[in-house]
């Protein structure tokens, strides 16, 4: 086989694997030092409040965060709802297991947008374990409320693990299979299994489905902090 042909075939294989969301190593889009590798989604005249440090509840107002320097947390220190900007990674993913921790102040609201388009709700839902609704913490926005969640109090860290199957497209770019949340685990409890997504949820990066997309955190609905963000290959 000629070397040129071999290179073409290898390149095609790599593209095919990437198109299915294949990844050989754990991806850590947040370096724990600064916002390098992340972009804000412009929205009117809103300013960016994302920063890096250590977050804790403001003792004078539990609806806000105090940011101390020197930590490795990705923090949206916006003063309140309707202020701030969404933040998304330059790194892209397809099929993946997304692992992270999130801390929400009292009454605050955010969202984890898988591939920048499919939202897992982040909300202060403390005390609603026995009656979660479609907008509570862990809900797949617009699709399904969480099942049997275990919520933690404002200011405490929640663990989230999302097993994600990206949408499939043929050679012409036509979608041939919908995206799917294979499993979502919140604080050690499986709250979703096999939830098919017929389309994106509102408020994503561009509202378009594609083979690969970024990880996005909603930042215009309230203060929030994230840490230990990892994107693993889907088994």
What is the mean pLDDT of each successive set of 10 residues along the chain, which is 235 residues long?
Answer: 40 41 76 96 91 97 95 94 93 98 97 98 97 96 93 98 98 96 98 97 95 97 97 94
* pLDDT at residue 71, as a whole number: 92
* pLDDT at residue 4, as a whole number: 39
Tell me whether residue 8 is in a domain: no
DSSP at 136: S
Cα 58 to the chain's mean position, in Å? 25
CB contact at 8 A, 146 and 139:
yes
Cβ neighbours around 180 below 10 Å, total:
17
CATH (domain of 94)? 2.60.120.560
Strand pairing report for 189-197 and 179-186: antiparallel
Q: Give the chain's mean pLDDT.
A: 90
What phi-psi label fits residue 126: left (phi over 0), alpha (psi between -120 and 50 degrees) or beta? beta
Tell me whether residue 147 is in a domain: yes
Count of structural domains within the chain: 1
Tell me whether residue 4 is in a domain: no
CB contact at 8 A, 166 and 23:
no
What phi-psi label fits residue 191: left (phi over 0), alpha (psi between -120 and 50 degrees) or beta? alpha
Rounded distance between C-alpha atoms, residue 72 and residue 131, angstroms: 34
CB contact at 8 A, 24 and 13:
no
Name residue, tokens 């939830």: 195
* pLDDT at residue 82, as a whole number: 81
Tell me whether residue 3 is in a domain: no
* pLDDT at residue 142, as a whole number: 81
Tell me whether residue 149 is in a domain: yes
- Which domain does 163 fall in, by range? 19-232
């Amino acid at each position: 086989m000629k070397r040129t042909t071999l290179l073409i075939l290898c390149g095609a294989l790599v593209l095919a694997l990437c198109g299915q969301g294949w990844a050989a190593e754990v991806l850590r889009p947040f370096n724990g030092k600064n916002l390098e590798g992340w972009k804000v989604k412009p929205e009117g005249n809103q300013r960016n409040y994302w920063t890096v440090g250590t977050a804790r509840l403001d003792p004078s107002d539990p609806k806000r965060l105090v940011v101390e320097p020197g930590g490795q947390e990705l923090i949206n220190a916006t003063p309140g709802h309707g202020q701030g900007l969404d933040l998304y990674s330059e790194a892209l993913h397809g099929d993946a297991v997304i692992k992270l921790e999130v801390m929400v102040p009292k009454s605050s609201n955010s969202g984890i947008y898988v591939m920048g388009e499919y939202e897992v709700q982040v909300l202060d839902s403390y005390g609603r374990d026995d009656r979660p609704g479609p907008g509570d913490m862990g809900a797949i926005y617009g699709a399904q409320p969480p099942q049997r969640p275990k919520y933690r109090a404002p200011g405490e860290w929640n663990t989230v693990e999302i097993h994600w199957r990206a949408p499939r497209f043929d050679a012409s770019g036509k979608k041939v299979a919908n995206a799917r949340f294979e499993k979502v685990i919140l604080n050690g409890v499986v709250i979703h299994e096999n939830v098919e997504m017929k389309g994106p949820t509102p408020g994503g990066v561009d509202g378009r489905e594609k083979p690969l997309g970024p990880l996005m955190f909603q930042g215009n609905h309230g203060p929030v902090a994230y840490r230990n963000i990892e994107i693993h290959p889907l088994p």
